[in-house]
C-alpha cells in the first residue's frame, strides 16, 4: 500500500495513475500528522532535506532519497549521504530517477524485507534525540566562556 503526499495540483493525476496500474494508494495533497505517517510507513521515498532526514532517523525508517537537485551547494545530497553511509538509505539523483529505476529499486526492497528492516535499524542509530539539549548547552558554554 502506498501513501503519497503530492500537493493539491497533482492529487488527481496521481490517484488516476495508481488506479490505472492497480496500485492500492492513499493520495493526499498534504499530510498534517507526519508522526502518524511515519508510524504507518515501512519505507519512505522522499527528498533529503535536513528536517526530513532527521525525522526519518528519529522515527527509525529507511528511505529512498531523491535529493532536490537545485538545493544550495547540493546540501540535500550531503544530508542523504549520512544515511547512505550508515546503510539506512538508498540515494538516487533526480537526473537518474526514471520509472524503471524506481520500479527496480522498490521491487528489490519489496522482495528483501530483511534489508528494509536493517535500513530502519541503521536509521535509528543515526538519531540524536538529545540534539536540542546539546546545542543549547554548547551555546550556553560559548556564551559563558
Q: Are 118 and 87 in contact (CB under 8 A)?
A: yes
Phi, psi (rounded to 5 degrees) for 63: -150, 155
Q: Minimal CA–CA distance to 118: which of 51, 42, 47, 52?
A: 42
What is the value of pTM for the model shown?
0.91
Q: 3-state class of 27 per DSSP?
A: strand
Average pLDDT, the chain: 97
* Topology (CATH level 3) of domain 33-144: Rossmann fold (3.40.50)
Whole-number Å distance between alpha carbons of 70 and 41: 27
Segment 88-144, tens digit of pLDDT: 999 999 999 999 999 999 999 999 999 999 999 999 999 999 999 999 999 999 999
Phi, psi (rounded to 5 degrees) for 45: -105, 120
Whole-number Å distance between alpha carbons of 32 and 117: 26
Whole-number Å distance between alpha carbons of 95 and 74: 13
Whole-number Å distance between alpha carbons of 79 and 12: 31
Question: Which DSSP letter does residue 60 get?
Answer: T
Predicted confidence band of residue 145 (pLDDT cuts 50, 70, 90): confident
In the chain, count H helices and then E strands.
Answer: 7, 5
Segment 2-61, tens digit of pLDDT: 999 999 999 999 999 999 999 999 999 999 999 999 999 999 999 999 999 999 999 999
Amino acid at each position: 500500500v502506498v501513501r503519497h503526499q503530492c500537493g493539491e495540483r497533482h492529487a488527481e493525476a496521481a490517484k488516476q495513475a495508481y488506479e490505472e496500474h492497480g496500485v492500492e494508494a492513499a493520495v493526499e495533497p498534504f499530510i498534517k500528522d507526519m508522526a502518524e505517517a511515519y508510524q504507518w510507513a515501512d519505507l519512505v521515498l522522499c527528498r533529503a532535506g535536513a528536517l526530513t532526514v532527521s525525522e526519518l532517523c528519529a522515527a527509525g525508517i529507511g528511505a529512498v532519497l531523491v535529493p532536490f537537485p537545485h538545493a544550495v551547494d547540493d546540501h540535500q545530497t550531503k544530508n542523504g549521504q549520512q544515511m547512505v553511509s550508515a546503510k539506512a538509505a538508498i540515494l538516487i539523483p533526480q537526473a537518474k530517477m526514471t520509472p524503471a529505476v524506481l520500479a527496480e529499486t522498490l521491487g528489490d526492497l519489496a522482495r528483501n524485507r530483511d534489508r528494509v528492516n536493517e535500513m530502519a535499524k541503521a536509521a535509528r542509530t543515526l538519531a540524536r534525540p538529545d540534539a536540542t539539549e546539546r546545542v543549547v548547552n554548547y551555546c550556553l558554554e560559548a556564551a559563558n566562556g
